[in-house]
């Protein structure tokens, strides 16, 4: 039995089930009492949390083929539940989702404990290889002890990126010292000059040189932007 759960047969089987839907296992960590997570099964406390996510455009074809005909609200969230709940059931896990809230589960804090990601100036977590082209879709909470190795140290791209092109690319300077001005962003994207962001995705995110080969396909960019706008209209 390998020391690290991520190297185990169970992790390989889970990864294979997720890969059928273009998703991937994104690491995990041992849960502490401070995490205050719900019990994964009656009388059984949470011991480990595994993160599920998407990297690059891998998930888009699976979602596009299975979505609710484009008519239902939150089609990606609904599809995610449809594919993840049965996988969680197979491994005896409780599935938690980033879109359930408020209050929301702290997925970005969990991600920083699960894999080598760090905050970027755009607030999205940056990964040394995937850049800004990844997200989290679910967490699987297990009652079993998993040997999860600590996250290995990895370079944080933003620390050596002197030019910070991401911060110069937004036409309305929506990334401010106090945070992301989401309403400034949304009114630009929804307006007459917002076509580039609306159809091709956030210009600031696209300006980052890390992982550019993993940029989402245009249809996925437009889908996420429309979902963002629909929450801000």
* From ligand SF4, ligand B12, none, interface partner of 208 (C-beta below 5 to 8 A by class): ligand SF4
User: Cα-atom radius of gyration of the chain, to the nearest Å?
Assistant: 18
Q: How many residues bind ligand B12 (CB under 6 A)?
A: 24
Of 24-32, 50-58, 92-100, 118-126, the segment contacting ligand SF4 by CB under 6 A is 118-126
Binding mask 31-70 for ligand SF4 (x = CB under 6 A): ----------------------------------------
Q: Do you find a cis peptide bond into 103, omega within 30 degrees of 0?
A: yes
Give the ranges where 51-181 is alpha helix by DSSP (H).
60-66, 75-90, 107-114, 166-169
Helix axis angle, 75-90 to 9-19, nearest 10°: 150
- What are the φ/ψ torsions at residue 62 (nearest 5 degrees)? -65, -45
Helix axis angle, 218-232 to 182-189, nearest 10°: 120
Binding mask 71-100 for ligand B12 (x = CB under 6 A): ---------------------------xx-
User: Does residue 29 belong to the site contacting ligand B12 (CB under 6 A)?
Assistant: no
Q: Which residues are at the interface with ligand B12 (CB under 6 A)?
A: 98-99, 104-109, 119, 123-125, 134-136, 179-180, 182, 185, 202, 224, 227-228, 231
């Amino acid at each position: 039995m390998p020391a690290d759960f991520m190297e185990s047969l169970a992790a390989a089987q889970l990864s294979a089930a997720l890969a059928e839907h273009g998703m991937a296992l994104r690491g995990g960590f041992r849960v502490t009492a401070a995490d205050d997570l719900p019990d994964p099964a009656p009388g059984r406390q949470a011991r480990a949390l595994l993160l599920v996510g998407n990297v690059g455009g891998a998930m888009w074809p699976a979602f596009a083929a299975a979505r609710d005909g484009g008519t239902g609200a939150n089609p990606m969230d609904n599809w995610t539940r449809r594919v993840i709940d049965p996988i969680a059931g197979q491994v005896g896990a409780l599935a938690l989702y980033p879109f359930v809230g408020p209050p929301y589960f702290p997925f970005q804090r969990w991600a920083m404990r699960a894999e080598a990601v760090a905050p970027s100036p755009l607030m999205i977590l940056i990964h040394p290889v995937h850049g800004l082209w990844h997200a989290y879709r679910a967490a699987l909470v297990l009652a079993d002890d998993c040997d999860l190795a600590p996250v290995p140290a990895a370079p944080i791209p933003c620390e050596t990126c002197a030019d910070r092109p991401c911060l110069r690319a937004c036409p309305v300077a929506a990334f401010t010292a106090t945070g992301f001005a989401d309403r400034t962003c949304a009114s630009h994207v929804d307006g007459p000059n917002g076509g580039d962001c609306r159809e091709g995705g956030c210009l600031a995110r696209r300006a980052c040189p890390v992982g550019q080969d993993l940029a989402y396909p245009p249809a996925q960019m437009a889908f996420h932007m429309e979902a963002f706008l629909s929450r801000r209209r």
